[in-house]
Amino acid sequence: MFRKILIANRGEIAVRIIRTCREMGIGTVAIYSEADRDALHVQMADEAICVGPAPSAKSYLNVTNIVSAAMLTEVDAVHPGYGYLSERASFAEICGSHGLVFIGPPPAVIELMGDKAAARRRMKEAGLPVLPGSDGPVKDLTEALQVVEGIGYPVMIKAVAGGGGKGMRLVKNADELRRLFPLAQAEAAAAFGDGSLYVEKYLEAPRHIEIQILADQYGNVVHLGERECSLQRRHQKILEEAPSSVLTPAERERLGSLAAQGAAAVGYASAGTMEFLMDNQRRFYFCEMNTRIQVEHPVTELITGMDLVREQIRIAAGEQLGYTQDDIGFNGHAIECRINAEDPDADFRPSPGLVQFYHAPGGYGVRVDSHLFTGYEVPPHYDSLLAKLICWGRDRQEAIARTRRALGELTVEGIRTNIGLHRRIMQEKRFINGELSTRLLEEILRSPQLVTVPVVEAEPGRAAVSDGGGVVTADGATAAGTVAAANDIGESEIEASGRGGAAAPAPTAAAMAGDEPAEPASARVAGA
């Protein structure tokens, strides 16, 4: 087993990895930017080293400085978390060339599955169903038009090196294709350094269902069931649950077998996720593979009783799984709400600033993964994810009831958050009934439904801000009002706010975008 691991990430996921390492008796090294000097993951790690100034490109994406930090601190392995360098094959190769174990799949597998067109082709060869589309990247607009002639509109044009909804456009006719193709190319080139696109048939309102897999270097592969990830805004997930409320036992078994089959076909070794789309005729199509731990992995942990980060570390250390598919059991239902620092009343613009008060919910079946604390200054440089609220119940209805209760207790003052939106989702009839699709959240946000919003009493001299963007009083007086919760959707995740506190001036969405949720923090927490 490893003696010491460097965590090449920040915020919530860095804290999450440190906790598992501590339980396993493994030393930890945190890296941080100058903006994260007082971050929680820095305070919790056994050692910490600065790798550059605030911008991610100069710190959390600075391969030279990160590898130098790993060598300086004499670690055995590097855990990349999610986002940042977690799916960069070149980083895994560089780690290996310096005698560092990369806690993830082999670089060749990362490269293959990171090329969405190549992954699609390889999974088709392995027997997985895929959507009609181009067999690889299209050379230019002319070839894209030719492909669409064969499969018909609507289609999605997608970045080959894509992720996070970037370099992706829905196209409904030839004129739109001509207009949007160069825009998607430019966005993909800016985000990934590769403007290559492929074309795929678009499903109008599918369900997004993914399968968690674990595989070791000895050819053993198991799946840990599915996660329903259909609640999305602009192709970004905001709520996940496990298991899916719609799958039959036969469909669950088939999807799990397909996912394991695909992983085995590419020699996968680590934790990973196979993503599928299900159309309204209950047909499944491979979408992509994420070759890393995912933001939503806790819902799988709660229904299986397995620590996926621990399993990642064990596999990377050369251990066999030590169990078969027959040993994997599932218990109850879990729901995860992503809590983000965003302003719903300003097109979901990021809302950095000082957290004046933070209270996490507790009680049976409630888990909060976060780097947040009272007095923490949310920086403007990184992803807006603050916390993940994960609730377990014996069945889906109990999980929903527990999530409602926990959301009612969750309090964040001083910045805007999406807590109010999650509370609204928990009351939405279609969600309660399991009538999900990737379009549902958009429909909820655009509905003309009026929502009564309680406005919390603020301290004198501090503005009070309601959960859903309701009445604001500059003098801190209590007020109540009714607001139309019919905002259009904005950029990366969703929001409303927890308890009051005036929002700090927010930067543009681009200023905090780019990385998969990686988080901030500050102030030492003893024994956290």
Catalytic residue set? 292
DSSP three-state, residue 395: coil
Entry field: residues in the chain = 528
Backbone dihedral angles phi then psi of residue 365, each to the nearest 5 degrees: 75, 15
How wide is the angle at C-alpha 23 spanned by C-alphas 18 and 24, nearest 5°?
95
Instruction: Take residue 228 and report the two structure tokens written for it.
Output: 């329903």
Alpha-carbon distance 504 to 343, whole Å? 10
Contacts of 68 (CB under 8 A, 6+ apart): none
Query: Does 298 sit behind a cis peptide bond, omega within 30 degrees of 0 on the bond before it?
Result: no
β-pairing verdict for 4-7 and 77-79: parallel
Query: Does 507 sit behind a cis peptide bond, omega within 30 degrees of 0 on the bond before it?
Result: no
CA dihedral 343, 344, 345, 346 (to 10 degrees): 60
Alpha-carbon distance 22 to 16, whole Å? 10
Alpha-carbon distance 228 to 207, whole Å? 8
Alpha-carbon distance 383 to 350, whole Å? 9
Alpha-carbon distance 479 to 116, whole Å? 51
Alpha-carbon distance 113 to 58, whole Å? 26
State the helix-helix crossing angle for 308-316 and 297-304, rounded to 10 degrees. 100
Q: Which residue has the tokens 């003893």?
A: 526
Residue 397 CB neighbours (<10 A)? 11
Residue 79 bridge partners (DSSP): 7
